[in-house]
Amino acid sequence: MASKICWFFTVFFCIQSSDLAVASDGENKKLIDSAYSGGVIRVIVNLNIAYQLEATLKDDSTRQAQRTNIKEAQDRLIEFLQNQGAQVRRVSSQSPYIVTEVDGPTLEKLLERDDVLRVQDDKPRGLVQ
């Protein structure tokens, strides 16, 4: 239960914080350096697909269509990650995020993908003010 709550808050703060929309080259370099020095790091991947919070969608069919789009995009990325030997740890059915553990070469490939909007380290952050 605690991991589900932690996952919710991680995704919630990622969505709510506008400065997390796109990572800078410096942030990506820090992630890559960390992955190469540590062997494997845990990251949150934000998929590059159209997305709205479900509460703002007008009806169930629109929500279901969005969930289908999210699942299809996640499935493509999960296949890539598994082919690279990465471990997928969490997948959300209602938001375009995946938590995975990757090594340096996989992270570099991940950052080059058109279907990836942002990759960030999965570390606790302070509250957004």
What pLDDT shows up at residue 23?
59
What pLDDT shows up at residue 124?
74
Phi, psi of 117 (to 5 degrees): -85, -45
What pLDDT shows up at residue 30?
87
Own/partner contacts of 83-87, CB < 8 Å, gap of 24 or more, are 84/109
Query: What are the domain boundaries of the chain?
Result: 2-121
Distances (CA, A) of 97 to 33, 38, 48, 115, 129: 22, 23, 10, 12, 23
What pLDDT shows up at residue 126?
67
Would you call 94 helix, strand, or coil by DSSP?
coil
Rounded percentage of the chain residues whose pLDDT exceeds 70:
78
Q: How many CB atoms lie within 10 A of CB 7?
A: 18
> For the chain, how are helix, strand and coil distributed in percent, rounded to 5?
55, 20, 30
What pLDDT shows up at residue 27?
82
What pLDDT shows up at residue 93?
85
What pLDDT shows up at residue 26?
77
What pLDDT shows up at residue 104?
93
The model scores a pTM over 0.85: no
Question: Which tokens belong to 23?
Answer: 């990572």
Report residues of the chain scoring pLDDT below 50.
5-10, 12-21
CATH number, domain 2-121: 3.30.70.80
